[in-house]
Copies of this chain bind each other. A is one copy, B any other.
Amino acid sequence: MREPEAAEPDYWTFVDHAVRSVSETLPEVDPDAMRLVMTLHRATDLLSYDLHARLGEIKLNESAQLSSTGLRLLLVLSAAGPLELRRVAALSGMSRAAVSAAVENLAANGLVGKEPSQEDRRTVLLQLTPEGQETFARCFAAYNAGEQHWAATLTAEERGQLVGLLTKLMQTQDVQRRA
C-alpha cells in the first residue's frame, strides 16, 4: 500500500492515472481492456521513438539520410527477394502509393532497382542493388544494436513470453485488416 505517485505524471505513468479516472466515471468501460491497449500503444510508441532517434544519426550519403520507412522497405526486399510493388506494400504495411514514392527515393540513391516484369507488364519488380544490400547490412546492424539495448531488460524467457502473448492476441477474430 504505497502512496500514489507525485503530482505530475508523465507520458508513461499517465496510463495508471487515466485508467483509474475513466473507470470511476464511465461504468461501462472495462479497465482491464483499456489498460492493455493503452499500455501496448504507449510502450511501442516510446520504443519506436527511441529507436528512430538512434537511427537518425545514420547517414545514407552526404545529402540524404535513411528514413525509418526506407529501412523497412530494405528489410522487406532483403528478406523476400525480388518482389512486385504490391507485395512490398502488403509486407511492409504501407499503401501502394507510399511504397511507390519511397521506392522512387531509394532508387534515386541507387539502393533498389526497378524493372518491369515480363510476365505481367502492369507490375514492376523491385530488387536490392549490391549497394542496397551493403547499406541495409550496415544500417540494420546499427538499428539492431538499439533493439538489443531494449531487449536486454528482459530475460530470454520473458522475451519469449511477451512474443507468445502478442501472438495469441493477434488471433483475435473479426478484425478489420488492411486491404
Q: Tell me whether B78 and A25 are in contact (CB under 8 A).
A: yes
A102 at the interface (CB under 8 A from B): no
How many chain copies does the complex carry? 2
Residues of B within 8 A of A161 (CB): 161, 165
A105 at the interface (CB under 8 A from B): no
Contact count band on A: 35 or more
A151 at the interface (CB under 8 A from B): yes
Dominant secondary structure at the A interface: helix
A14, A30, A162 pick with most chain B CB within 10 angstroms: A162
Residues of B within 8 A of A33 (CB): 144, 147-148, 150-152, 159
Query: Per-residue CB proximity of A5-49 to B under 8 Å, as 1/0?
Result: 000111110100110011001101110111111011111111111
Residues of B within 8 A of A49 (CB): 176-178
Residues of B within 8 A of A147 (CB): 30, 33-34, 36-37
Least CB distance, A78 to chain B, in whole angstroms: 7
